C-alpha cells in the first residue's frame, strides 16, 4: 500500500460522509475489488482506480488496524496520456440501470450494502476545446436534474409510490434514511 502513488490528483473528492460510509463498508464486508495500478516508465506504481478506498485504508492503518496485502490489477499504458484515457474509460458507466431488476436484487441484500449503494445516473456531455486556456463553461452541455425527497412511514408506502412514479415515467431511486 505504501508503494502506491496517487495518479488522479484532485479529479474526485471523498466527502466526510462518504469516507465514513466507505470505512464502515470495508470494516463490515472487507476489501474485495482490486486496485487498478499503472507502472509508469520510471517504475512508480500509480493508482488509477481505488484512491478513495486507499484513503480509508490509510486512516484505518493510522487507527491501529492491520491492513493485509491488497489485490491489484495491472493496467498497461504506453504513457501518462494513455493512462489518463484508460482511467476515464474504466470510470465511465455505459450500462443503464434496470430499476425493476435492481429491486429484485435488493430483496436479499444486506442493509449495509443498500444503505451505502451509490448509483450515478447522470450523463455529463463535456465539450472541451483543448486550444483555449479559458475555463470551460459546462452550462450549455450539462443537463441539470431536480430531485424531491418524500418521507414515508412504511416500506410498503415507499414501494407503492415508487411503482406509481415509475409508471408515470419518472426516474426514481429508492433510499432508506
CATH number (domain holding residue 46): 3.90.1530.30
75 falls within a domain: yes
20 φ/ψ angles, rounded to the nearest 5 degrees? -65, -45
Return the pLDDT at 64. 93
Domain span at residue 17 reads 1-92
Q: Residue 14 burial (CB < 10 Å; 0-12/13-18/19+)? A: middle
9 falls within a domain: yes
8 falls within a domain: yes
Return the pLDDT at 63. 94
17 falls within a domain: yes
Indicate if the alpha-carbon torsion angle 151, 154, 157, 159 is positive or negative: positive
What is the three-class DSSP state of 48?
strand
102 falls within a domain: no
- Size (the chain), residues: 177
Q: Per the structure, how many domains does the chain have?
A: 1
38 falls within a domain: yes
Tens digit of pLDDT at every position of the chain (177 positions): 667 777 777 778 888 988 998 898 888 888 878 888 988 888 888 888 888 899 999 999 999 999 888 888 888 888 889 888 888 887 776 677 777 887 787 777 777 677 766 666 555 555 544 444 444 444 444 455 666 777 778 888 888 888 888 888 877 777 665
21 falls within a domain: yes
169 falls within a domain: no
Return the pLDDT at 133. 44
Return the pLDDT at 131. 44
CA 107 remoteness from chain centre: 22
Return the pLDDT at 72. 87
Amino acid at each position: 500500500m505504501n508503494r502506491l502513488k496517487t495518479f488522479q490528483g484532485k479529479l474526485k473528492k471523498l466527502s466526510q460522509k462518504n469516507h465514513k460510509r466507505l470505512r464502515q463498508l470495508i470494516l463490515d464486508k472487507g476489501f474485495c475489488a482490486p486496485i487498478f495500478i499503472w507502472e509508469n516508465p520510471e517504475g512508480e506504481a500509480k493508482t488509477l482506480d481505488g484512491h478513495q478506498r486507499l484513503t480509508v485504508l490509510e486512516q484505518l492503518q493510522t487507527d491501529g488496524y492491520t491492513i493485509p496485502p491488497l489485490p491489484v490489477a495491472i493496467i498497461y499504458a504506453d504513457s501518462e496520456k494513455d493512462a489518463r484515457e484508460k482511467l476515464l474509460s474504466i470510470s465511465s458507466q455505459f450500462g443503464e440501470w434496470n430499476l425493476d431488476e435492481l429491486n429484485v436484487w435488493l430483496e436479499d441484500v444486506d442493509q449495509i450494502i443498500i444503505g451505502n449503494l451509490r448509483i450515478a445516473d447522470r450523463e455529463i456531455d463535456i465539450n472541451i476545446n483543448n486550444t483555449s486556456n479559458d475555463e470551460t463553461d459546462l452550462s450549455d452541455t450539462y443537463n441539470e436534474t431536480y430531485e424531491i425527497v418524500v418521507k414515508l412511514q412504511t416500506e410498503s408506502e415507499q414501494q407503492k409510490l415508487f411503482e406509481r412514479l415509475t409508471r408515470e415515467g419518472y426516474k426514481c431511486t429508492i433510499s432508506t434514511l
